[in-house]
Structure 1
Amino acid sequence: MKRTYENALKLLQTRRRTARPTDKLSVGIDGLPPVGAIPNVYGTSTLLGIPSIVGMREWLELLGHSDSDVNRLNVIHVAGTKGKGSTCAFVRSLLLAHGSRTGFPRKVGLYTSPDLRCIRERIQINEQLIPEDLFTKYFFEVWDCLSSQESQVTVGKYGMPRYLQLLALVAFHTFIKEATDAAIWETHHGGEYDSTNFIREPIVTGITTIGMDHVEQLGPTIENVAWHKAGIFKSGTPGFSVPQDPNISAVLQARAEEKKIELGFVGVNPSLPTDARALQTSAQKTNCSLALALVGAFLKRKARPENSCLTSSDILDGIGKFSWPGRFEVISEGRNEWFLDGAHNELSVKHAVECATPRSLPRILIFTHISDQRDGQALLTTLASCIKNNNIRLEYVIFTTFQERQDGSTRIDKNVKIPHISIPDLLAIYCDIWRKIDPEAVIVSEPAIEGALKFARKIGEEKGGMETLITGSLHLVGGALNILQPLN
């Protein structure tokens, strides 16, 4: 096989699971207890299959990387349900602002999940996606090493890494080879058994807002979810969390005591600028405040004493240059305004509505949610309730799919699971739900994102401008961004 970017993506896709595991392990593996005996707040677990942390250290050793190599990355580890990516992006921006003034950190790695438009979004250095040639080079170095006959004999009981494990390994390999001074890591799903959690000595850890998330792996209750998220806490490493509901805070505090760390709960920082566009929602103020605490702890531990604090100019510069596409993002086209947020759970959509500041222009919603794991109908109902509570009237509601272009083209690096219902039937259900909520709204169904955007633009042309909220899924927002702001 030729060592091309396209072939790297094809090989990566072969490592996706075809279905979620259904069986618990009957024996322990590599020091972990049997999965059915893994403790949580109730002493039981719903976690199924082999935890994704299993094999990560062994695979990295095959690649020639030790714990010391990983520790030299100076990791900032972030878990949570809502706001992980934004918090990590704020951390990156603040560190780079400090580095431009002091010389440290000079090079910052960022690993996030999922991607919106391009797999390389998950692995960034400074503010740049890893280039295609570099992704290809490091991917095949990892793939060739782990798929070799010698490696398969050495690590045969683990086989080849699964999709997210492989991406994390490529990211670790990239940041080590590129000698980053700091590496910001967003967990995939949980924390305790997440494939990113083999890091033994992170510099600081952070927990964003926790809600019901990935219940099949982490549930069945919010306390179970919190237990897993707090698994990133490490002895000797400071930990921070945004304010949480009392039952969640109690679990986080108990886990902090178990791991012998001091946990700080971070409210909105009063020194945040009041006019920053990046801080237009309460959620982003919370995420930025957590990022300030994480960066502050990082600098105290790693920077020279004379440069161990962020200055007010660092903060203003970092927030001013903050960018995180598809999350509370505003794109202006004359009098047309697009508000994009990839909210895909009920906690997220409450904040997404804040993004769409009401004006006097016609207001439009473009929505879809297609998943075999989350309830799109409940998500749409929650969104409608939030819109009503914020006194926003939507004149047009457009339901669409994850199909990007009207000509039927798709993206090579996306693989979307769909529910056990036809897509047209699902869109018809969404239309019926909204028709009952607001019989006066104009409700349409478009088979492709491109068609939905064209319909909204047509309204803008007829009415002298429009405001359109695009939300419900990261896949939807990614497809919309591909059309509104194509990648070079």
Structure 2
Amino acid sequence: MSKDENELPENSSEVVSPYQEALDTLSSLITKRFRADKANQGDRFDVLFDYIKMLELEDAIPKMKIIHVAGTKGKGSTCTFTESILRNCGFRTGLFTSPHLIDIRERFRLDGLEICEDKFLAYFWWCFDRLKEKTNEDVPMPTYFRFLALLAFKIFSAEQVDVAILEVGLGGKFDATNVVKAPIVCGISSLGFDHMEILGNTLGQIAGEKAGIFKHRIPAFTVPQPEEAMSVLQKKASQLDVPLQVAHPLDISMLNGLQLGLDGEHQYQNAGLAIALSNTWLQKTGHIEGSYLDQISSLPEQFIKGLATTSLQGRAQIIPDPYFDTDNHGDLVFYLDGAHSPESMDMCGKWFARAIEDDISQRNSVEERPHDYSRASSNLVQNDANGDSRKKLTQILLFNCMTVRDPQLLLPRLINACAHHGVHFQKAFFVPNQSLRTKVDSHSVPQADPQVDLSWQLKLQGVWENLIQGDKGTKGDDKASNVSEEGKDDSEHTIKNYESSSVYSSLPLAIKWLRDNVQQNRSVRFQVLVTGSLHLVGDVLRIVKK
């Protein structure tokens, strides 16, 4: 073993660091108010322009050469591809995305790297102090995400980036990033059902909110969409004289033998959109001649390198648990994907099943292949050269989702996508998120709440059990006595334990069960799919990387 204990560090009485002080101050801006939508007139959207004046950004923002991207699925990947392409073309880039997984500074990237702590603190306090001084009862302090968007504009302006790529936080029309009046180009990634309590219950309503980022005569691109969504996008574009084009998925042959830096079939669609956005930005800013349509037959070397070197945590990411030394290395592997909509569950299931299939194929052929792999699972394959290829592969699901989402729509899609490719979970673990939505944390692992409400996790488990046992005509609630033998030894850590699922009161306890079982059973390799929530993915990363 490389570490002696699974325990999390106890609360210390050390002096709060300047960085933690800033995070605590930022946490004070988190409210329980509803997000901006048409029902509350955008939560006084126009007040954002008052904040911009307070921060002396009213002249700086119009000068920025901005790429603005909305969407339900893939907007973060699209923005990250776009940033990597333009950075490899030699431009100084600024990238604003959400949410962060481990550290708030992930949201602000300069030249592909998260902003350093010193710069973050300087810009943070510059903005916070001015807003604190100038706001009042009529114009109160901005809420959490609005402040972060304003901070991004300040950072990118002060750092004099050549291009700022902005990912919409939620929706589009009333999003804090939508204070941009004249971006260079806009993009809308794949649309689907998510945040319906805010954006609407139909694809048409959702598309209308996303199309709120369209600006008069500013070119825009989208990907192939369902007809209901596409018709709304086209109507909104027509009303604003927006030249809207459809960017088709990237043809893998255009990568000249390389692979996309982000794994998954759906990433070719996101890459295609990123190519269109990057190419149009280059053309509209005078760096290349011609138009997007002139460029689709081949890709410049810089585009290929940018696409191949793109990286993004928590999306189709494979991490062997570094907790173990060489004896058990690769016996516990986390497959992380922040999918949280029905459509993304399909993509996640396909990716996970393909990754399992690739791992099996590589292990079976390990003796015939050179030990130089570029794929994320290469270290697992090399470990198999030592005789571990006969270990039994066991797939585990580690899941949570927000209470506004419908597990009856999410879990069946995931189960079916995996089963279609021959992958079946032996067990599912349902856990609450560690990170608090009311507090911004640093790299440290938040302490588990001993009084945490697990009613939602128990509901998720009930849905799972009914899905798994449905074909047998047995409801999950009738199977409480059917506890697996391996689960009995750990029953004090579980709230409700079935043969095919368990609810744990905290994420560290679920990971402890996995680690303990790896140590106790040398013939098994656990492949753990972590999905349903980017917050859960971030929590796992915090623990695994600690």
Shorter-chain TM range is: 0.7 to 0.9
Q: Which has the larger radius of gyration?
A: 2
CA contact (8 A) 2:349 2:415 kept: no
Q: 1:94 to 1:368 in 2, by over 3 A?
A: same
Are residue 118 (structure 1) and residue 133 (structure 2) matched? no
Change in 2 beyond 3 A, CA 1:145/1:450: same
- Are the equivalent residues in 2 in contact too, given 1:52–1:165 (CA < 8 A)? no
For 1:3 and 1:138, the matched residues in 2 are separated by 17
Q: Does structure 2 retain, via aligned residues, the 8 Å contact 1:142–1:170? A: yes
Q: Mark the CA change 1:163 to 1:413 in structure 2 (over 3 Å): closer, same or farther.
A: farther
Q: Given the alignment, which residue of 185, 194, 202 partners 2:166?
A: 185
Hey, what's the Cα distance between the residues in 1 that align with 2:146 and 2:35? 16
> What is residue 328 of structure 1 aligned with on the other side?
316
Shift of 1:53: 3.1
* Aligned-pair Cα RMSD in Å: 2.9
CA spacing shift, 1:248–1:80, aligned 2, 3 Å: same
Are residues 412 and 49 of structure 1, via their aligned partners in 2, closer, same or farther at CA, if it must alter by over 3 Å? farther
Structure 1 residue 368 and structure 2 residue 399: aligned? Answer: yes
Query: Cα gap change, 1:484/1:378 in structure 2, threshold over 3 Å: closer, same or farther?
Result: same
Aligned partner of 1:80 in structure 2 is: 71
Structure 2 equivalent of residue 468 of structure 1: 528
1:431-442 matched pairs, under 5 angstroms: 431-438=461-468, 442=500
Q: Where do residues 2-81 of structure 1 align in structure 2 (5 Å cutoff)?
A: 4-20=18-34, 47-48=39-40, 50-51=42-43, 53-67=45-59, 69-81=60-72
User: Given that residues 459 and 465 in structure 1 are in contact (C-alpha distance below 8 angstroms), is that contact kept between their aligned partners in structure 2?
Assistant: no
Q: 1:164 to 1:20 in 2, by over 3 A?
A: same
Counterpart for residue 232 of structure 1? 213
Shift of 1:81: 0.5
What is the SS of the residue equivalent to 1:381? helix
* Partners of 2:340 and 2:401 within 8 A in 1: no
Change (3 A) 1:307 1:485: farther
- Which blocks of at least 5 consecutive residues in structure 2 are unaligned? 1-15, 322-328, 361-391, 470-483, 485-498
Find the aligned partners of 1:312 and 1:434 in 2 and give their Cα distance.
47
Deviations 1:418-467 (A, max 9, x none): xxx97433333333333333359642333222332333345555334332
> What code does the residue aligned with 1:200 have?
K
**TM-superposition CA deviations, 1:203-231 (whole Å, max 9, x none):** 11000011122222211322111001011
Find the partner of 2:425 among 388, 394, 417: 394
**Distance verdict in 2 for CA 1:435–1:91, change over 3 Å:** same
Cα pair distance change 1:424/1:305, threshold 3 Å: closer
Identity score, percent: 30
Helix, strand or coil: the match of 1:141? helix
Q: Is the Cα–Cα contact under 8 Å of residues 262 and 316 in structure 2 kept in the other structure?
A: no
Correspondence for 1:252? 233
1:277 shift after superposition: 5.3
For normalisation by structure 1, the TM-score amounts to 0.83
Tell whether 2:295 aligns with 1:314. no
Amino acid at match of 1:86: S
Q: Give the AA of the match of 1:351.
A: M
Structure 1 residue 352: deviation in Å? 1.0
Q: CA deviation at 1:413?
A: 6.2
Contact 2:95 / 2:166 at 8 angstroms: preserved in 1? yes
Q: How does 1:137-286 map to 2 (within 5 A)?
A: 137-148=122-133, 151-152=134-135, 157-270=138-251, 271-273=253-255, 276=259, 278=261, 280-286=263-269
Unaligned runs of at least 5 residues, structure 1:
23-34, 36-44, 100-104
Distance 1:391 1:3, change over 3 A: closer
**How many equivalent pairs are there?**
443
2:113 equivalent to 1:128: yes
Q: Counterparts of 2:260 and 2:153 in 1: how far apart (Å)?
A: 33
SS in 1 for 2:429: strand
Alpha-carbon deviations, 1:344-395, whole Å to 9, x = none? 2222211111221233552323333253422245422332233223331112
Which residue of structure 2 lines up, in the alignment, with residue 302 of structure 1? 285
SS of structure 2 residue aligned to 1:77: strand
Distance 1:233 1:306 in 2: 24
- In structure 1, the residue matched to 2:441 is 412
What residue identity is the alignment partner of 2:43?
P
Q: CA deviation at 1:147?
A: 1.4
1:94 counterpart letter in structure 2: I
Contact 1:276–1:320 under 8 Å retained in 2: yes
Alignment of 1:95-106 (within 5 A): 95-99=86-90, 105=91
Aligned to 2:336, which of 340, 344, 355? 340
Q: What one-letter code is carried by the residue in structure 2 that aligns with 1:87?
A: T
Counterpart of 1:355, as a letter, is: W
Q: Which residue of 1 aligns with 2:372?
A: none
Structure 2 residue 81 is matched with structure 1 residue 90: yes
Contact 2:78/2:273, CA 8 A, preserved across alignment: yes
1:7 CA drift (Å) = 2.2
- Aligned partners of 2:201, 2:462: CA distance in 1, in Å? 30
